[in-house]
Amino acid sequence: MSKLTIVGLHGDRTGVLDALIKMGGVEVIEDKAEGESTRSMAYASNLDLRARLKRAISGLSARFPEARHLVGKKLLVSEEAFAITEKDESKAQRQLNRYETLLREEEALDLSLSVLHDQAEQLMPWVDIPIDLTVRNTNKTTIIYGVFRDATAFDAFERDVARDLPLASAFILDEDAKFPAKVAIVTINEQLPRIRARIAASDFHEIPDLPFTGSASDTMKDLDEKVTAKKDELRKVQDELREIAEGLPLLMTYHDFLLVRYDKNAADEKVHATQYTFVLKGWVPQSDAERITRELTDQYDIACLVKPAEEGEETPVKLKNNRFVSAFNVILEMYGAPNSQESDPMPVLAPFYMILFGMMLSDVGYGSMLVIMTAYMLFKKKVEGNMRQLCSMLLISGISSVIWGFIFGGFFGDLVTVVSQGKANFPTLWFNPMDSPTQLLLFSMVFGVIHLFFGMALQIRNEWLKGNLMGGLGVTVPWYLIIPGLGLLLGKGALTSDPHTALLLGEIGKWLVIAGAAFALIFAGHGIRNPFKRLMKGLGALYNITGWLSDILSYSRILALVLATSVIAAVVNMLGMLFGHTLLGYIAFTLIGIFGHSLNLALSALSAFVHTSRLQYVELFGKFFEGGGSFWNPLRRRTEYVRIDKNTGDSVPNA
């Protein structure tokens, strides 16, 4: 990284920022005194407007298939189309305001229809009663309409009324007098409070206070007319919403235009300005510095100064690797950025991640399914951003899984053996972990040692970059000797059956351990003048053997995940064949197999992803990674819904 300083006249400030945001090659850094930068209300307005646009876009895409198709992939727009004019901005805001108004109207209409339907449902039992339900009172009497659930409650009420309230009567309105029965209770107004007290104590349900227009039948007709009118209004609202959905590209473009404007204003806040001039500072990759400064000075009357970062100065980190390695950047980004003074871990992380993931899944069928799904997302759906990186990483890891599936002889577990009733087996290029789990365990640990040794090589390089090569060798070389030496001492019997060869290997291992321990005692304390402290430093380094054993044992998870995937696959195949080798059995096998193997793929792939990442983060990174840096974040046009076609138009969008 190099530090770029731009000095120019105040009138060129906006143009320079526009050019930088279009180039996407400079990370603008703060050049103001603390507290000098202020945030205006425009920031809050921008955030609020983008949130409203996002809700509108999401709502329209969920409602209309055409809109969903548009939002499903980024819309390609030209430079001219992305340069939203004030007229377009006003139009987009009117569409957004109208959309929100229509949503409120739709909600109100839905509520009204729900109320009308409830009223109609409550009136339905009374539709055959030819009584004007609007007549409830006279000068001296009151009529109460309702329903008695059973004859016992009605008879008890009738007896109480006859005994205590002789000027009140209850009439059954149904011709067949079946219960539950609709009843009219007539009473003089003076007795109304006492009647209501009796009603409250009875199993009586008074008819709701509805907007009656006569009998229940007449009221139902009136309600039907209101429902029809409300539905017509609702249909008009939905038609207008559909028209707004047809203008969705403008809303999508406007949202991203506001996002770019927000980033530009945020960068502008970092620029130091006087009444007539401005000073802008930023980080630019050394390889791009000359091109960017040339393009800027050709367009604007400014002065540009590029100088390398000072020794020891922390700079943003930009990873620069080939396409294969870059596909695994997402793994590092989930963990954190290395600092600019240490080595890029990706050339080591990428191949080992691919191999470890493939070993853990290690099935031709599952690997092929993973490849097909990720290839569909990459080449058919054309996903972008972090999702594209993740799919690229899983595509490569899926290919690795297919290769390891051939090595270990797995195709949806033992599918070939089960279907052929043992007459055929899927070919195995090396060995089957189900038959030789100990062999896989030993291989996993050996591979783990190789993985960790690469991590220590990066530690040596990091110390060399700091000018402390001897210190890096002092803490790493002993383990390059001790770990293989212990492996020969403990595993000589597994390496050969010849006693003389085993004895020789044991001797070699012993001397490797001795040499490693001696190297640690002599050089682990490099730079410490006190002999006693230097010796204690060496002994402390040797004590780390427990940590090494723990790290190596962590690779036994490879065995666990390989066996878990294979066993679950075998169980699925066994369940599929419960109905035998018949037509019904093969149908059941197909259905159970599709569900079971899909579930096993999801679980096994997730486990492989998590545990492979853990081996990188804990075991590998623990040997060298310091971190604490930040990824290079250039000022660029971040977009969510549109993709700008840079081949059309040469003008910088007036953001």
List, for residues 477-502, the tens digit of each pLDDT value: 999 999 999 999 888 877 788 888 88
625 phi and psi, to 5 degrees? -75, 130
**Is 450 a member of any domain?**
yes
**Is 331 a member of any domain?**
yes
The total domain count for the chain is 3
Contact 254, 84 (CB under 8 A): yes
CATH code for the domain of 196: 3.30.70
The whole-chain average pLDDT of the chain stands at 90
What are 262-294's pLDDT values in tens digits? 999 999 989 998 889 999 999 999 999 999 999
Contacts 24+ apart (CB under 8 A), 174-181: 174/129, 179/148, 179/149, 179/150, 179/151, 179/154, 180/147, 180/148, 180/149, 180/150, 181/147, 181/148, 181/151, 181/154
Instruction: Provide the token pair at 620.
Output: 């590998």
Question: What pLDDT, on a 0 to 100 scale, did the predictor assign at position 415?
Answer: 94
Q: Estimate to the nearest angstrom the gap between the alpha carbon of 243 and the chain centroid.
A: 32
Give mean pLDDT in consecutive 10-residue pieces for the chain, a chain of 655 residues: 93 94 92 54 87 95 90 87 92 96 96 93 88 88 92 90 89 84 92 91 87 89 94 95 94 95 91 91 93 94 92 90 95 94 95 97 96 95 88 97 96 93 92 93 95 96 90 89 91 82 90 90 72 72 84 95 95 90 88 95 97 96 93 93 73 38
Distance of alpha carbon 269 from alpha carbon 422, whole angstroms: 72
Same domain for 392 and 267: no
At 443 the three-state DSSP class reads helix
Same domain for 544 and 449: yes
Task: For residue 571, give Cα distances in angstroms to 370, 495, 598.
Answer: 21, 35, 13
Instruction: Name the nearest CA neighbour of 252 among 9, 70, 87.
Output: 70
Give the H/E segment covering residue 415: helix 415-419
Same domain for 464 and 579: yes
Question: What pLDDT, on a 0 to 100 scale, did the predictor assign at position 472?
Answer: 86
Q: Is 28 exposed, middle or buried (0-12, 13-18, 19+ CB in 10 A)?
A: buried
Residue type, position 281, single letter: K
**Is 616 a member of any domain?**
yes
Q: Is 323 exposed, middle or buried (0-12, 13-18, 19+ CB in 10 A)?
A: exposed
Q: Is 299 exposed, middle or buried (0-12, 13-18, 19+ CB in 10 A)?
A: middle
Distance of alpha carbon 259 from alpha carbon 46, whole angstroms: 8
Same domain for 519 and 468: yes
Contact 10, 219 (CB under 8 A): no
Query: Of the candidates 157, 188, 206, which is a domain's last residue?
Result: 206
Same domain for 571 and 448: yes
Question: What pLDDT, on a 0 to 100 scale, did the predictor assign at position 128?
Answer: 86
**Is 219 a member of any domain?**
no
Same domain for 382 and 264: no
Same domain for 396 and 515: yes
**Is 118 a member of any domain?**
no
Contact 183, 148 (CB under 8 A): yes
Instruction: Name the nearest CA neighbour of 416 among 582, 546, 599, 577.
Output: 577
- The verdict on whether omega for the bond into residue 433 sits within 30 degrees of 0, i.e. cis, is no
Task: For residue 273, give Cα distances in angstroms to 14, 15, 51, 139, 509.
Answer: 12, 15, 31, 85, 68
Question: What pLDDT, on a 0 to 100 scale, did the predictor assign at position 188?
Answer: 93
Same domain for 138 and 19: no
Question: What pLDDT, on a 0 to 100 scale, did the predictor assign at position 38?
Answer: 53
**Is 318 a member of any domain?**
no
Distance of alpha carbon 542 from alpha carbon 565, whole angstroms: 38
Residue type, position 72, single letter: G
**Domain of 272, in residue numbers:** 2-94+244-308
55-85 burial by CB neighbour count: b if 16+ within 10 A, else e?
A: ebbebbbeebeebeebbeebbebebebbbbe
Contact 26, 4 (CB under 8 A): yes
Instruction: Name the nearest CA neighbour of 119 among 206, 181, 179, 207.
Output: 207
Question: What pLDDT, on a 0 to 100 scale, did the predictor assign at position 651?
Answer: 39
Same domain for 492 and 351: yes
Query: Of the candidates 279, 308, 337, which is a domain's last residue?
Result: 308
Contact 415, 399 (CB under 8 A): no
Neighbours of 484 (CB within 10 A): 18
Same domain for 465 and 363: yes
Question: What pLDDT, on a 0 to 100 scale, did the predictor assign at position 141?
Answer: 93
H helix intervals, 182-327: 192-200, 216-246, 248-268, 286-299, 323-326
pTM equals 0.81
**Is 154 a member of any domain?**
yes
**Is 105 a member of any domain?**
no
Same domain for 566 and 428: yes
Residues, the chain: 655
Query: Of the candidates 176, 191, 206, which is a domain's last residue?
Result: 206
Same domain for 590 and 510: yes
Question: What pLDDT, on a 0 to 100 scale, did the predictor assign at position 467?
Answer: 87
Distance of alpha carbon 337 from alpha carbon 621, whole angstroms: 12
- HEC assignment per residue over 41-108: HHHHHHHHHHHHHHHHHHHHHHHCHHHHHHHHCCEEEEHHHHCCCHHHHHHHHHHHHHHHHHHHHHHH
At 472 the three-state DSSP class reads helix
What are 415-433's pLDDT values in tens digits? 999 988 888 999 999 999 9
Q: Is 646 exposed, middle or buried (0-12, 13-18, 19+ CB in 10 A)?
A: exposed
Question: What pLDDT, on a 0 to 100 scale, did the predictor assign at position 654?
Answer: 39
Question: What pLDDT, on a 0 to 100 scale, did the predictor assign at position 40?
Answer: 62
